[in-house]
Amino acid sequence: MATQAARLQVPSGPSRHVYDVIVMGSQVGGALAAALLAKRSHRVLLIDHDGTGTGYEHGGFVLPYVPSIAPGLKTMPVVEEAFTELGITTTVQRALRPHTPELQLILPRHRVDLHTDPTRRRGELTREFGETAEGLFSALTATASQHEASDAFFKEQPHLPPEGFFETWGLKKKIGQHPGLETHPRLSNNTPPGALLRGLLPFLTFLDEPSSPLALTRPLSQTLQAPQRYPGGNDGLRELLVRRLSELGGDVLTRENSDSYIVEELSFDGPRFAGVKLLRSDVLYRASCLVAATDSGAIRRLIKDRKRHRGLLEQLDSSSTKSILFAVNWVVPVEALPRGMGELLLVETGDKELQPLMVQVHPARTPSGKEDESLRVVCAGAFVPASVRELGEEHMQALAHRIDEQLDALMPFTKQKRVLRSAPYLDAGEVRGSRLMPHPLYSFEAEAFLGITGLKQRTPAKNILLAGREVLPGLGLEGELLSGMRAARLVQEMLKKKNPLKG
């Protein structure tokens, strides 16, 4: 009689198997929720599950998945308060890196350095656009401060997205008290530089074709005031939050510990979440609630009893991925870069499918973490339909070649000197990461309040909350962090009701 093969065990995880809350997923909102809950004396387990890390290895280098820009911390005052609670505000501010110049626009007949210093910016615009420069300068200046009109609204920590009659009624009343939410962007599509600058928006949010004033103005305004780069992108910021979680006593299972720390199934007691089962492990990690910080498709795959949890699945199914950010990396010698080329560029491609191309220049980094001062990584990304992933490698190679052509036009005589060319969707082998979607754009069936909301945070499973980028997709990075902060508050409310004697 054949014997059953012994089940492979994961490396020893935490000895505790019961928690107040389990946070599952690699998105930054979940890491913030986990750190805040640990700071507030809750027992927290964070399971990475689908993380990609801050880059992928290819050809002896660690390369970025996509170009990534972050607004200055001062433009996100509510998020700054959360970081202050965790004691990491100074660390984050020191880590953020400005670009030189802050932003460079490349149009068919113009190259413009958009400095944040008003005098230099006005001079640069006048040099390129003459008599029309003053109007563009005024529109830029006004746009870069528009987010301030909605700061007070977010400081009140509104219920976004709202659930039920009372939350919806309260939110609409609060919206009426803040007329600045309905202010349209000052930058117009009527001029080539204005249209190109509005083309920044997809790189700043996770919402497909936003149309509301708030979704159009706030992310763009925050970024134009001070476009910065966090080393490693959003995942670099997440790593900082995970380290803080560990310092606060939270337990962490990440792919750095073992590739086996992947959730195989969500376990339920009737309609309620009970715990998570890991791949190749007999351990069931239990918790009073789950905070899911991964894409809805990844959550959906972990629910085995589809009939019992139909309501939860229907909520997750109301999100669909429309576009993905497709990138190509060139590793080139420093001296091969054109003179005057900036570190962050927005390029008018003239290609109707690619639309604007974002180009970001990074230090070249080896797997050991050492930077090669003689080399740079030029990362170029454009949004393409999400369906390209199903069209096969040949189609994606053709797409990468079109981006190559744009880089060749931007940097003449550089191609023959490049050390490596790499595309994450083609060369990032064995990366899990929510089917490798470092920056998707979503659309939703549900009503979008203020044009920025997506999936509701509460779910029909009652003790499962969402804290991913699909909750407030119209606010980009800030939306992810705000959803994590609200998830932490909801967990506290839930546990207080469940354990009234617990302080």
Question: What gap in Å lies between CA 291 and CA 490, rounded to an integer?
Answer: 10
Indicate whether 331 belongs to any domain. no
Rounded CA-CA distance 382/390 in Å is 18
Residue 61, exposed/middle/buried by CB under 10 A (0-12, 13-18, 19+)? buried
Mean pLDDT of the chain: 91
**CA–CA gap between residue 446 and residue 319 (Å, rounded):** 9
User: Does residue 89 surpass a pLDDT of 70?
Assistant: yes
Cα 473 to Cα 390: distance, rounded to the nearest angstrom: 24
Task: For residue 202, say if its preceding peptide bond is cis, omega within 30 degrees of 0.
Answer: no
Bridge partners (DSSP) listed for residue 372:
364
User: pLDDT band for position 430 (50/70/90)?
Assistant: low
How many whole angstroms separate alpha carbon 500 and alpha carbon 436? 42
Look at residues 358, 232, 238 and name the one whose alpha carbon lies nearest to residue 293. 238
Q: 178-192, 270-284, 367-381, 467-481: which range is least confident on average?
A: 178-192
Q: What is the pLDDT of residue 254?
A: 80
Rounded to an integer, what distance in angstroms lies between the CA atom of residue 500 and that of residue 503?
8
Give residue 24's domain range.
Answer: 18-51+254-318+445-498
For residues 140 and 353, which has the higher predicted lDDT (pLDDT)?
140
pLDDT of residue 256: 61
Residue 361 lies in a domain: no
Question: Which pLDDT score is estimated for 433?
Answer: 43
Domain annotation covers residue 260: yes
Tell me 348's DSSP state: -
Inter-residue contact 86 to 445 (CB < 8 Å): no
In a domain, 363, yes or no: no
| pLDDT at residue 10, rounded to an integer | 40
307-336 pLDDT tens trace: 999 999 999 999 999 999 999 999 999 999
**Does residue 140 fall inside a structural domain?**
no
The whole-number average pLDDT for the span 245-257 is: 86
pLDDT class of 226 with cuts at 50, 70, 90: confident
* Res 444: pLDDT: 95
CATH number at residue 461: 3.50.50.60
Is residue 156 included in any domain, yes or no? Answer: no
Number of domains in the chain: 1
Q: Is residue 169 one of the residues assigned to a domain?
A: no
Kind plus residue range of the DSSP H or E element containing 251:
strand 251-253
Residues ≥6 apart with Cβ < 8 Å to 384: 323, 324, 326, 353, 354, 399
When pLDDT is averaged across residues 166-190 and rounded to a whole number, the result is: 89
The pLDDT tens digits of the residues spanning 91-121 come to 999 999 999 999 999 999 999 999 989 999 9
Mean pLDDT over residues 428-441, rounded? 72
C-alpha–C-alpha distance, residues 23 and 145, integer Å: 35
Tell me: the pLDDT tens digits for 26-35?
Answer: 999 999 999 9
Query: If you average pLDDT over residues 337-344, what whole number do you get?
Result: 96
| Res. 13: pLDDT tops 70 | no
pLDDT recorded at residue 255? 66
pLDDT band per the 50, 70, 90 thresholds, residue 279: confident
C-alpha–C-alpha distance, residues 147 and 139, integer Å: 14
Q: Cα(284)–Cα(301) distance, rounded to whole angstroms? A: 18
Gap between the Cα atoms of 61 and 367, Å rounded:
6
| pLDDT at residue 499 in the model | 42
pLDDT at residue 18 in the model: 96
Q: CB–CB of 210/216 below 8 Å?
A: yes
Distance of alpha carbon 479 from alpha carbon 481, whole angstroms: 5
| pLDDT tens-digit readout, 66-76 | 999 999 999 99
Picking from 411, 417, 340, the residue whose alpha carbon sits closest to that of residue 379 is: 411
pLDDT at 352: 86
- With respect to residue 28, please indicate whether it lies within any of the assigned structural domains: yes
Q: What pLDDT digit, counting tens, does each position of 369-396 carry? A: 899 999 999 999 999 999 998 888 899 9
